[in-house]
Amino acid sequence: MDTDNWVMLQINSFQEGGVAIGVSCNHMMADLTFVASLFKSWTEFHRHFPITNPPLIAPLPTHGHASSSSSSSSTKAASPKNFATATFKFSSSTIKECLSKVHDSCPNATPFDFLAALFWTRIARVKPPKTQDQIHSLRLCTDLRSLLKPSLPIGYLGNALHFSTLSQKVKDVELGGIVSAVHMHLEELSEEENEGERVYGSELTCVCMEHLMVEEDEESLLYGAVFGNNEKPVHVSCRVGNVEGEGLIMVMPCSEGGLSRSVMVMLAEEEVAELSKDEAIMELEPAMVLAGGGMDH
C-alpha cells in the first residue's frame, strides 16, 4: 500500500434512521475543498443530475511555489501531550450583530475575519506569556485555487492550501483593529506570497473556508450534498489529524446557512477548559460541543 496516497470511506447506517458518511485521506493527496466537492458530485451522480464541479486531476502549477510534504519537527518535544477539542456554533443573527459592531474599523469584514480575530485574541490570553511585550503570530490557511493564474476549479484533486503568517500585538488592542488586520492580510495575498508549504506546522493555525460559501443562495458547498427528497446534511464535521505545537482553529459554515459559522479549536486541554468559559466568547451564546483527546485519524 502506498502510504503517501490513501483514502478511507466509511458509511454507518443507524437503526433508528439516519446515515453518517465519513472520509479520511492523506493530507497531501487532497484538501477539504476537494472532499466537499467530491461529496456533492457523488450525490449529483446518484440523482442523475449534472455534476456542478467535475473532479480535475492535474499537477498543481509550480510557478512561484515549492511544495513540501514534511512538517516542522523542531517543536515536537514542546508540544502539549494532551489535546482537546471544542466546537462553538454561532447563529447567523449573532454574526451579523458582531460584524455591525466592528463596521467602523472594517466595513467589509467577513465572518471569518471576525471569528479568527476573536479566537486569536482569546487564545492569546490563555497561553502562557513568552515576553512582556509579545508579538503574537497566527498562521492563516486559505485556499489557493482562486489565487493561481489561471485559477483552478473547485473540483481540483490535490492539496491547494495557502499558508501565510500574520504577526502583531493582540493583547490590549481593540478587537476591531485585529479584525481589520486579518481582513487586510487576506486581501493582499497573492500567488507569489505562498510560503512554499502545503502542510500544517507547529504555529497556531486558523483555517478559512469562506470560499465554500455560495453567494447566490448563501448555502455552503459543505451542505450541498443531497441524496434525495431534499435531504441535506444535518451536520458536517471536519478535523485535521496529528495536530501539534500551538494548536488549530477551523472556521466553517454551518447548516443554518447565511452568516452562521462553527469554530472548532484543537488546543491543550487546559487551554480548551479556559476558552470554554471565556467571557467574550460566552456572551455571544454559542452552542458548544466539548471533546477530549485522541484526535489522530
CATH number at residue 22: 3.30.559.10
Q: How confident is the model at residue 103 (pLDDT cuts 50, 70, 90)?
A: very high
Check pLDDT > 80 for residue 198.
no
Asked if residue 64 belongs to a domain, the reply is no
Structural domain containing residue 21 = 7-59+74-291
Q: Which whole-number Å values give the CA distances from 79 to 76, 203, 243, in the listed order?
A: 5, 10, 9
Pair 142, 208: CB distance under 8 Å: yes
Task: Let me know if residue 2 belongs to a domain.
Answer: no
Q: What is the mean pLDDT of residues 229-247?
A: 80
- Is residue 35 in a domain? yes
Of residues 146 and 219, more confidence is placed in: 146
246 CB-near residues (< 8 Å, 6+ apart): 127, 202, 203, 204, 205
pTM of the full structure: 0.84
pLDDT, mean over the chain:
81
Q: Is residue 296 part of a domain?
A: no
Average pLDDT over residues 265-274: 91
**Which residue type sits at 174?**
E
In a domain, 67, yes or no: no
The total domain count for the chain is 1
18, part of any domain: yes
pLDDT band at 67 (very low <50, low <70, confident <90, very high): very low
59-68, 98-107, 114-123: range with lowest mean pLDDT:
59-68
**Is 256 within the bounds of a domain?**
yes
C-alpha distances (whole Å) from 129 to each of 133, 250, 268 are 9, 23, 15
Q: Is residue 234 part of a domain?
A: yes
Task: Specify burial of residue 279 (Cβ count, 10 A radius: 0-12, 13-18, 19+).
Answer: exposed
Cα(235)–Cα(3) distance, integer angstroms: 30
- pLDDT of residue 8 exceeding 70, the answer is yes
Residue 113's pLDDT band, with cuts at 50, 70 and 90, is: very high
SS (H, E, C) 84-128: EEEEEEECHHHHHHHHHHCCCCCCCCCHHHHHHHHHHHHHHHHCC
CA dihedral 53, 116, 234, 145 (to 10 degrees): 10
pLDDT surpasses 90 at 93: yes
